[in-house]
Structure 1
Amino acid sequence: MDMQNLNTQRATRQISALSLAVIIVLYLAHALPLYFYNVALPAILRHQGVDLRWIGMLSLLYIPWAFKFLWAPLIDRLYIKKLGKRKTWLLFTQVALVLGVLALAFTQFSYGLVVFVVIGLWISSFAATQDIAIDGYTVETFSASDYRLGSMAQSIGVALGSMLGGAATLWLYQYYGWESALVCLALMTALTMFAVFYIQENTNEQTNIAKQAPSLVRAFKRPEILSALALILCYRVVEAPAMAMLNPMLIDQKWTLAQIGLLMSVIGAGVGLLAAVSAAFLLKKIQATQLLIWVGWCRTALYGVIGAAIILGWLNQWHLLLGGFVIVMLAIRYVAMTSLYAYFMQSSSKEQAGTDFTILVCFELLVYFIGGATSGFLAKSLGYGNFYVVLAVASVVSVLLSQYIIARHQKTQQKLLNQEI
């Protein structure tokens, strides 16, 4: 009997390891082309002499990610039963992504930037749709106690996508040219498709879920979603301006594009991997909301130190000090995002996992975009030093408000639990 239990435990661990590996590869799949557009393509276009204002058009590619919640209920509702709820959309979108990257490989710079934007919108739209299915599958696959692992897998997949889709593809372009680099990217994207065939969906659970169809209205009626939206607004609005000014500040400190690429896409992604794993370990000991608060205070202290270092002229004396600050900021960000996404999973209903999770992610992106959009105006009027000091003060308010929202939601949940008992 003991031997049977041991074998069962081993099988469970193997299944969990497989599910974890599959989710990492799935998140990597759509991160590859996205980080090519986010990291590699701007540098390549600038190398080709394209005006910075036209390169800024690439920001249009984020539009599908901001509005993907509109079609998230359809992804939860429509699928081919023989394939499975999530496998249907994962296969369809993965094929579309590969075709998009291949189309990009055979696009010449002489065609004009509009062609790159149109193909990019194709890739971004299907990547956003695929993300709905992956998020839903992650929430459905893991138990509440293992959401930390699902969130860690997401962070690892995105970090690997940044390294391979961004830095590695840029290196391939530099030494082998445009077409070879993009064909290699398409091949990497195609290879990730094998992970789709290893996903393990509970078909019995799919047929026994809520009688009501997944919808946005159902999501916004849930107190868990409303509380999470309030937390996102308070917590993330301060972080966005701080992150948005990192690259301009590095440029102004005379860092080269190659150095920035190495710092952000290679070292930064490596730090992100370690931070995500560390966060998953910590989430085994404490709640996601508690870790968010701890990281929030670390973030506050870092902003204050950066502001002081700039005002006191330390960055002019020690050139690499800013690089150290960037690495610490990226580590804090990855821990925060791993914690936040674990909290998103806890707040999502398994009855419409893709819809609930997508609403939270879209709102998080919206807050992040708005916060980032204001950063340039603030930094220009205040100067980098005062800018980060102001963010440090704002972060104190942000963390205190976040603590209040979390405590209030926990009290509400406890009251509901007591009423049920």
Structure 2
Amino acid sequence: MPNINRSVGGTPSPNTKPKITALGLSVVIALYLAHALPLYFYNVALPAILRHQGVDLRWIGMLSLLYIPWVFKFFWAPLIDRYYVKKLGKRKTWLLFTQVALVIGILALALTQFSYGIVVFVVIGLWISSFAATQDIAIDGYTVEAFAESEYRLGSMAQSIGIALGSMLGGAAILWLYQYYAWQFALIGLAAMTFLTMMAVFFIHEPFADKAIATQPPSLRQAFKRPEILSALTLILCYRLVEAPAMAMLNPMLIDQQWSLAQIGVLMSVVGAGVGLLAAVTTTLLLKKIQATQLLIWTGWCRTLLYALIGVSIVLGWFNQGQLLLGMYVVAMLAIRYIAMTSLYAFFMQCCSKQQAGTDFTLLVCFELLIYFIGGTVSGFLAQSLGYGHFYLLLAVASVISIVFSQRIVMKSKVFDHSPSS
């Protein structure tokens, strides 16, 4: 099948280099913002709101059930690639359907009272989370299909920006609305923002939808047959397993260092979102000259150094002198995380087949989330037994091993030999 260049918000052209318009990038950012809003509401805002209402921490921990659809969404990803209403479009069908379902779910949550119990919150949350996860399949598929390979860095940047804005609006902004205007007003505000992002769906164009005709129906079996997918899964396991424990213990460490919930919210949601935006743009510029896998390796070495600095600082008691140094370390860790995420997602797009883009990308992301959950699960046990200082020093050593093996995976596999965009 001939390689046809495609542009976002325009028509495919076989002879000209695709031009990514401001409208095209804005559409993708808005789409990722749409699914990030409810995700970060449950991740950032709702735990704090429930705790403010005096809900037991063990019940708040049940909110982790809401991530189940995100881990297992690869099971129904082939269906999203395969079935759709042709008059609407391959991706627009699912984007409209899931967006309507999200607005309905959020409005239902707005009518829920705290006296109903945590189970009601979890049930409605599973509805919202399931449709947000399904929507993410369609968004990822659209991004891979709509961008030419030379422009994947821009697609990855749009994804990171959308997620960063989602963390700010779905987390910090909803907390602010709740504090000053109470529960229902905050949730209606979240529903309104979700509804407004739905307008982006009407600006997408899918002239490419019928170009990539699959010889076989999209399926997980087809994904696992491709060597680039298998190599990517190996790289995820090697690279991400070390990062998850470090991120999981950030908030508990801040609490134990006497940071208030308000300070943590500002640092992680507001400052973190700003850092994410800057890191995403910077990474996109770097990817014009550097392969995504190479930037990932360099970021890994920076990660290793930061873990070592955090461990030494804790062991030597430097954080006892004030909060500034720890805050700087957290900002640096968030920046490294966003650079790694943007690089990794650009690489994911390179590995995906346009014939089943949603399935391939979803499989990689779900495996990444699974690795994160495994790493996060063991983090508390390690930090409790070793203490934060030796915990991060151990992660620094593990990170060295991780990067060495990741580098070997990259060097041995030809599927990683993608030239940087020009």
> TM-score w.r.t. structure 1 length?
0.94
Matching residue within 307, 331, 335 for 2:335: 331
Q: Which residue of 2 aligns with 1:165?
A: 170
Q: Is the 8 A contact 2:96 2:198 kept in 1?
A: yes
Alignment partners' CA distance in 1, 2:326 and 2:200: 39
Residue 228 and residue 14 in structure 1: after superposition, are their counterparts in 2 closer, same or farther (change >3 A)?
closer
Alignment partners' CA distance in 2, 1:249 and 1:206: 51
Matching residue within 192, 208, 214 for 1:187: 192
**Residues 342-399 of structure 1: per-residue CA shift (max 9 Å, x gap):** 0000000001000000000000000000001100000010000000000000000000
Q: Which residue of 2 aligns with 1:274?
A: 278
Deviation at 1:145, TM superposition (A): 0.9
Alignment partners' CA distance in 2, 1:344 and 1:145: 13
Q: Which residue of 2 aligns with 1:342?
A: 346
Alignment partners' CA distance in 1, 2:25 and 2:239: 28
SS at match of 2:62: helix
Deviation at 1:19, TM superposition (A): 1.4
Deviation at 1:12, TM superposition (A): 8.3
Q: Which residue of 1 aligns with 2:224?
A: 220
Residue 68 (structure 1) aligned with residue 83 (structure 2): no
Q: Which residue of 1 aligns with 2:124?
A: 119
Deviation at 1:207, TM superposition (A): 5.2
Q: Which residue of 2 aligns with 1:284?
A: 288
Residue 211 and residue 14 in structure 1: after superposition, are their counterparts in 2 closer, same or farther (change >3 A)?
closer
Alignment partners' CA distance in 2, 1:409 and 1:50: 50
Alignment partners' CA distance in 2, 1:407 and 1:227: 11
Alignment partners' CA distance in 1, 2:416 and 2:329: 39
Alignment partners' CA distance in 2, 1:232 and 1:15: 29
1:263 maps to a residue whose letter is: L
Q: Which stretch shifts more, 265-274 or 208-217?
A: 208-217
Alignment partners' CA distance in 1, 2:139 and 2:355: 15
RMSD: 1.6
Alignment partners' CA distance in 1, 2:28 and 2:74: 21
Q: Which residue of 1 aligns with 2:50?
A: 45
1:168 maps to a residue whose letter is: A
Q: Which residue of 1 aligns with 2:308?
A: 304
Deviation at 1:206, TM superposition (A): 1.7
Q: Which residue of 2 aligns with 1:91?
A: 96
Q: Is the 8 A contact 2:95 2:135 kept in 1?
A: yes
Residue 391 (structure 1) aligned with residue 395 (structure 2): yes
Alignment partners' CA distance in 1, 2:323 and 2:241: 29
Query: 1:3-152 to 2 correspondence within 5 Å?
Result: 16-152=21-157
Q: Which residue of 1 aligns with 2:413?
A: 409
Question: Larger % of helix: which?
Answer: 1
Query: 1:235-254 to 2 correspondence within 5 Å?
Result: 235-254=239-258
SS at match of 1:122: helix
Q: Which residue of 1 aligns with 2:4?
A: none
Matching residue within 401, 404, 416 for 1:400: 404
Q: Which residue of 2 aligns with 1:4?
A: none
Q: Is the 8 A contact 2:34 2:194 kept in 1?
A: yes
Q: Which residue of 1 aligns with 2:262?
A: 258
Alignment partners' CA distance in 1, 2:193 and 2:323: 36
Deviation at 1:208, TM superposition (A): 4.7
SS at match of 1:148: helix
Query: 1:306-385 to 2 correspondence within 5 Å?
Result: 306-385=310-389
In structure 2, the gaps of 5 or more residues are 1-10, 418-422
Deviation at 1:188, TM superposition (A): 0.5
1:95 maps to a residue whose letter is: V
Q: Percent identity between the aligned chains?
A: 77
Alignment partners' CA distance in 1, 2:259 and 2:210: 52
Q: Is the 8 A contact 2:293 2:416 kept in 1?
A: no
SS at match of 2:97: helix
**Residues 265-287 of structure 1: per-residue CA shift (max 9 Å, x gap):** 00011101100110011011110
Deviation at 1:33, TM superposition (A): 1.0
Alignment partners' CA distance in 2, 1:352 and 1:21: 24
2:293 maps to a residue whose letter is: T
Q: Which residue of 2 aligns with 1:5?
A: none
Alignment partners' CA distance in 2, 1:294 and 1:307: 20
**Residues 149-183 of structure 1: per-residue CA shift (max 9 Å, x gap):** 10010000000000001000000000000000100
Residue 223 and residue 12 in structure 1: after superposition, are their counterparts in 2 closer, same or farther (change >3 A)?
closer
> TM-score w.r.t. structure 2 length?
0.94
Residue 322 and residue 15 in structure 1: after superposition, are their counterparts in 2 closer, same or farther (change >3 A)?
closer
Q: Which residue of 2 aligns with 1:211?
A: 215
2:296 maps to a residue whose letter is: L
Alignment partners' CA distance in 1, 2:416 and 2:111: 55
Alignment partners' CA distance in 2, 1:201 and 1:139: 12
In structure 1, the gaps of 5 or more residues are 1-7, 415-421
**Residues 219-241 of structure 1: per-residue CA shift (max 9 Å, x gap):** 00000000000000000000000
Alignment partners' CA distance in 2, 1:265 and 1:334: 13
Residue 413 and residue 195 in structure 1: after superposition, are their counterparts in 2 closer, same or farther (change >3 A)?
closer
2:270 maps to a residue whose letter is: V
Deviation at 1:315, TM superposition (A): 0.3
Q: Is the 8 A contact 2:172 2:265 kept in 1?
A: yes
